[in-house]
Structure 1
Amino acid sequence: MSNIEITGGEAIARMLLAHDAGPMFGMGGFQLLPFYDAARRLGLNHNLINDERCAVFAADAYAKVSNRVGLVDATLGPGATNLVTGLVEALNAGSPIVAIIGDANRDHAGKNMTQETDQVTILRPACKELLRVETVARIPELIRRAFMLATSGRPGPVVVSVPEDVAHGMLEFNEADFVADPAHCQIPAIRCRPDADGVVEAAKMLAAAKRPMMLVGGGIHLSGAQSAVTELAEACGIPVAHTLTGKGAIACNSPLSAGLFGRYDRIANDLIDKSDCLLVVGCKLGEIATKRYSIPAAGARVIHLDCVAEEMGRTYQPTLRLWGDAKAGLQDITAALAGNAAEQKASRAGYLAEIPAAMEAWRQDVSERLYSGESPVHMARLITEINKALPDDGYLIADGGFAAHWGGLLFDTKKATRAFVPDRGFASIGYGLPGAMGAQLAAPDAVVVGLTGDGGFNMVLGELETARRMGLGLTVIVVNNAASGYVKALQHLMYGEGNYQSSDLSETNYANVAQAMGCHGIRVESPDDLAPALAAAFAETGRPTVIDVMVTRDPSRMLPAVDNRTVKIKKGDRVA
């Protein structure tokens, strides 16, 4: 092994390469120039982004689809602080990310340097851990630690702050210094099993139940526990309902799938109310999932399995707490139930028959909207056409609010996998396009569709240039209602027709915008044009396609159902 004298910036690049790091997004500045120069010379896959927030969104989706670590960088001051929104998304969603930020020269810090702020204090609550590199010599150690922290326990974003003089400083390293632990190149890096006595008790509770259910969240995907969910459900006859981020824990077409539960549901909320034992796995039981803390009802028998002990009891006091990895815990419960699994399933035959029957009844009830021929296009018809057109191994990336709720309710995964990727960690608007970029990089041969509103798309239009420059053949569907749709719909419900404030947008043809930016643009005004538009978009593999879909301007019909936060709760259809 030979010794090499290199800059701190090159040491960072070498450590990222040692971790077999995937694509990186960032916007350079003087502080990290040696890192950029090393990225060029060493072949690190680095890509210029137009907005640092979108860099984290892209890295977040890349991590969610690949289960590998997403990478971003930002320069001092506004570059670093622009990361905050995306970092909180990754923190709340459990996405493994390493973010490198340039910081002020230590000899000049606090002397009103250009763009300087106390960025470490700003970023610290937005990440799982913030590591500051004080010497060039510690770079290999701290980058290794960043990957370890990002991939262990509940994954999350780790920020590495690199002062200018450290990035530019020179030091002699040995090539052997640049090694990585392969376990921390992807998630989950380390698994822990729940207490054995607790597993036995959980098995007893489930075996005694006549109407058990599993309620699963995004932790299933972080753990890679989809097969474990399906195995337990099928072996013992336990229906599965999911959160927005838990969709795909079991195939949506499974007869055991009860669909989405919480604020918007198909059949799940009623089943939860009637259940005599609920197994909650990898789910934080937050506001959306619990329909503002009204589901499950107080006093329900709940087993909560999670790798973060602090999440158990935060919003609901469970009967039994199991602290451990979702996959390992489910496997242990399945093994504990194996002796009489067949008998359990047989005893629940009548109950299990209710699930597909209720799901079919729901489909019939909403079929007029699912297959609506009205123009402008009905949102339910749009999701129906996406369901038809998207291949089994395709991905739907959904923006924060409007798109995520419609997609979460109506999109169907064809198999047990994370094919639906909403940004529900922070539910920020603007995720659809950069999220689709990250997903396409994680699955380059897959069909990737980003679903966004016109308001969200307006925020990130500049990334069309990034996607075109990178040759990404993704499709972005813009739900065009000339409004901040979710807000306008809530204003309608709260204050009545016509009482809207700061929720309308200019009418814009986003297909024309896409074409002006060198991308493929299609405008859809009739539902009959959806299928050919999707086919044309999926055939365009060398550049992005924007499908501009004209949907209703009526705010009373913008939401999948009446939002439970409003004071004007109305009874009626599940799909607006």
Structure 2
Amino acid sequence: MNGADALLMMLREYGVEVIFGVPGDTNVALYHALKRMKDAPVHVVCRDERSAVFMADCYARVSGKPGIAEVPSGAGAMYGLPGIAEANKSSVPLILLVNDIPQLGVGRGTLTELPIEAMFRPISKHAETLNRVEKLPETIRRAFRLATAGRPGAVVLALPEDLLYEELDATPHLLRAEPQCRSAPAFRVLPEEEIIGRASEALISSKRPLIVAGGGANRSAAGESLVRLAEHLNIPIATTITGQGVISDDHRLAIGIIGDNGFHPHAVWALGEADLVIYVGCRMGSVATMNWKWPPSDNGAKIIQIDLDPDIIANTRDVDFPLMGDARATIDRFFAKTKGESLPARDWVVGINSRRIEFWRTVQSELRSREVPIRPERVIEALNQHLPAKCHVMSDAGTSTPYATRFLKLTHPGSKLVIPRFFGGLGYAIPAVVGAYFAAPEFRPVALFGDGSLGMSAGELETLARLEVPAVLIHFNNGCFGWIKALQRVMHKGEGNDGTFGVEFGRHDMSKLAAVYGIRNFRVDTIEQLDGALKQSFALQEPCFIDVAVESIADRLPPVHSWLKKFGVDPGIIGVQATF
């Protein structure tokens, strides 16, 4: 067999079911092998290399398996940069195959030549160039091992085109996979028993403990273990945006989102009042801590931090019990250490839940608003009424984020809200529903995005239509880069509309764009139209595009903690309507 055949056989051995990619000058060998090979992974042809990597990213977040993307050399590789950076910082296992120029062309002015390793090394977990076809098996094994072991991340392999044509004397043993590296985390590392024991004793003796689950809890599939521990010891669970989904939103111990963006006031209050906080897979970065100001460092709370990455632990504040280990495995050890304890119901939980009940009672006026243009939070509430229990919701950074994190309710334990949070690049949600669908076709994929995101990923509407992905696409149409427009008003408080620049563009009926690709589409201006469009869309098993004319996020302050404070609004007061 040749190098391309060997590559595909190894991917199949690792359980790879789908590859997302874009054809180009240098990946002809790979495509020829895909066409010839029986039982080859499904290949999804994308319209943009950025989208291919975003699809692989979301596939990995939903399935736990490494997402696989392939791109040609030159611009194809450059367009892969945003997705690799996001996946790596978000601890998502992903492997990008760059079909590179032939080796003899290096340094000779060959079209599309780029230093792939040097370009990707700063933003990936590992970048490597294959230099001999005989090294292909060990290179692939190393890629899967690094993508899934330790803190998961993104691995980039440059595969010179000529090596994929070269013959390889490959035996089944040579092309073997390492079974534990077929999903992440490949190895569940545990902290030392002695420090787990001391941390468990502190937890048992605390009066007001709180768990804060971050994205690492989701990457580790620690939700079931966290809920079991929380129920046993009556510990409330708050999450960051990327930690959402570890516990059902309707659970009595699920108190909501902490952090700057889309926060729940009762969750932020609880974080400030806790006498012990367990951070699980949370880097305690700027958003989760409101620029490292919350919880107050002088409130006397003990801090337990569980993380796989030693660079993360105690990086932003002092930690009493630093535990370097896998989230799920470490939480299971906490349960084993404390399962003999019998603790009564905590007044602490009752107090938080009374605040939570008051929050949801107070915001009902917002969630039932019939104003036109439709409020973004009203779109989320309508979605709540129509969402099937088994769903995955993908949201772009921007207009939909603070409203989805605050108001969306997911009750099925397998449902996820996925938002690319580290770099916040636009253009994620539409391709992401493709990745989510291939990872879990039994869950209905839903995309939330604004005008800016649509402009960057509209080409993938053709991919959705071609593949008949039954996604419900909800476009927040406000005719501008809404989040940036709002930020400009925040930063230039008092200047009103004059404080914004370079963020406006035309208002158009974007349902007509979906119609070009034969996608069922709806234009929505009223609540009645929105309910009708959602009802029809979820009744169908085909892609549907709902274009909703919404109030701009720049017209009324969204639930962003730092923005509210800048305008003199107490973020802890529920129901205050503040305008710019």
Match of 1:457 among 442, 454, 469: 454
> CA contact under 8 A between 1:53 and 1:86: conserved in structure 2?
yes
**RMSD of aligned residue pairs (Cα, Å):** 1.7
Which amino acid is 1:256 matched to?
L
User: Which residue of structure 1 aligns with residue 505 of structure 2?
Assistant: 505
Would you say 1:391 and 2:388 are equivalent positions?
Answer: yes
> CA contact under 8 A between 1:494 and 1:566: conserved in structure 2?
no
SS of equivalent to 1:30? coil
Deviates more, 1:235-244 or 1:422-431: 422-431
Which amino acid is 2:524 matched to?
V
Would you say 1:317 and 2:318 are equivalent positions?
Answer: yes
Question: How far apart are the structure 2 equivalents of 1:81 and 1:149?
Answer: 22
CA offsets, 1:536-555, max 9 Å, x none? Answer: 1123323x211111111362
CA offsets, 1:200-247, max 9 Å, x none? Answer: 111111111111100110111111111111011111011110000101
Q: 1:467 to 1:292 in 2, by over 3 A?
A: same
CA offsets, 1:425-467, max 9 Å, x none? Answer: 3211111101111111111122111001111111100000111
Shift of 1:385: 1.5
> CA contact under 8 A between 1:203 and 1:337: conserved in structure 2?
yes
Would you say 1:441 and 2:438 are equivalent positions?
Answer: yes
Which residues in structure 2 correspond to 1:96-495 (within 5 Å)? 96-263=93-260, 264-266=262-264, 267-299=266-298, 300-340=301-341, 342-343=342-343, 345-346=344-345, 348=346, 350-495=347-492
Question: How far apart are the structure 2 equivalents of 1:209 and 1:138?
Answer: 54
Shift of 1:558: 5.6
Shift of 1:369: 0.5
SS of equivalent to 2:104? coil
> CA contact under 8 A between 1:9 and 1:32: conserved in structure 2?
no
User: Which residue of structure 2 aligns with residue 533 of structure 1?
Assistant: 533
SS of equivalent to 1:409? helix
SS of equivalent to 1:298? coil
CA offsets, 1:460-504, max 9 Å, x none? Answer: 000001111111111110111111111111112222311211111
Question: How far apart are the structure 2 equivalents of 1:500 and 1:430?
Answer: 23
Question: How far apart are the structure 1 equivalents of 2:334 and 2:448?
Answer: 37
Question: How far apart are the structure 2 equivalents of 1:210 and 1:570?
Answer: 31
Question: How far apart are the structure 1 equivalents of 2:297 and 2:353?
Answer: 27
Question: How far apart are the structure 1 equivalents of 2:105 and 2:569?
Answer: 61
CA offsets, 1:388-428, max 9 Å, x none? Answer: 21122111111123322221111122043451111113211
Which residues in structure 2 correspond to 1:15-54 (within 5 Å)? 15-42=10-37, 43-54=40-51
Question: How far apart are the structure 2 equivalents of 1:47 and 1:476?
Answer: 19
Question: How far apart are the structure 2 equivalents of 1:320 and 1:417?
Answer: 31
SS of equivalent to 1:303? strand
Which amino acid is 2:320 matched to?
T
Shift of 1:574: 5.2
Question: How far apart are the structure 2 equivalents of 1:384 and 1:456?
Answer: 22
Unpaired segments ≥5 residues, structure 1: 1-5
> CA contact under 8 A between 1:552 and 1:558: conserved in structure 2?
no
Question: How far apart are the structure 1 equivalents of 2:15 and 2:561?
Answer: 47
Shift of 1:178: 2.2
SS of equivalent to 2:249? coil
Would you say 1:11 and 2:6 are equivalent positions?
Answer: yes
TM-score (ref. length: structure 2): 0.94
Question: How far apart are the structure 1 equivalents of 2:156 and 2:329?
Answer: 29
Which amino acid is 2:263 matched to?
D
> CA contact under 8 A between 1:511 and 1:522: conserved in structure 2?
yes
SS of equivalent to 1:531? helix
User: Which residue of structure 2 aligns with residue 3 of structure 1?
Assistant: none
> CA contact under 8 A between 2:490 and 2:563: conserved in structure 1?
no
> CA contact under 8 A between 1:490 and 1:566: conserved in structure 2?
no
Question: How far apart are the structure 2 equivalents of 1:333 and 1:401?
Answer: 37
SS of equivalent to 1:31? coil
Question: How far apart are the structure 2 equivalents of 1:562 and 1:370?
Answer: 19
User: Which residue of structure 1 aligns with residue 544 of structure 2?
Assistant: 545
CA offsets, 1:227-269, max 9 Å, x none? Answer: 1110111110111100001011111111111100011321111
Give the number of equivalent residue pairs: 566
> CA contact under 8 A between 2:95 and 2:157: conserved in structure 1?
yes
SS of equivalent to 1:74? strand
Question: How far apart are the structure 2 equivalents of 1:69 and 1:144?
Answer: 12
> CA contact under 8 A between 2:390 and 2:442: conserved in structure 1?
no
Identity rate of aligned residues, in percent? 30
SS of equivalent to 2:241? coil
Which residues in structure 2 correspond to 1:509-528 (within 5 Å)? 509-528=509-528
> CA contact under 8 A between 1:455 and 1:505: conserved in structure 2?
no
User: Which residue of structure 1 aligns with residue 57 of structure 2?
Assistant: 60
Shift of 1:569: 4.4
CA offsets, 1:83-106, max 9 Å, x none? Answer: 110001110111111111022222
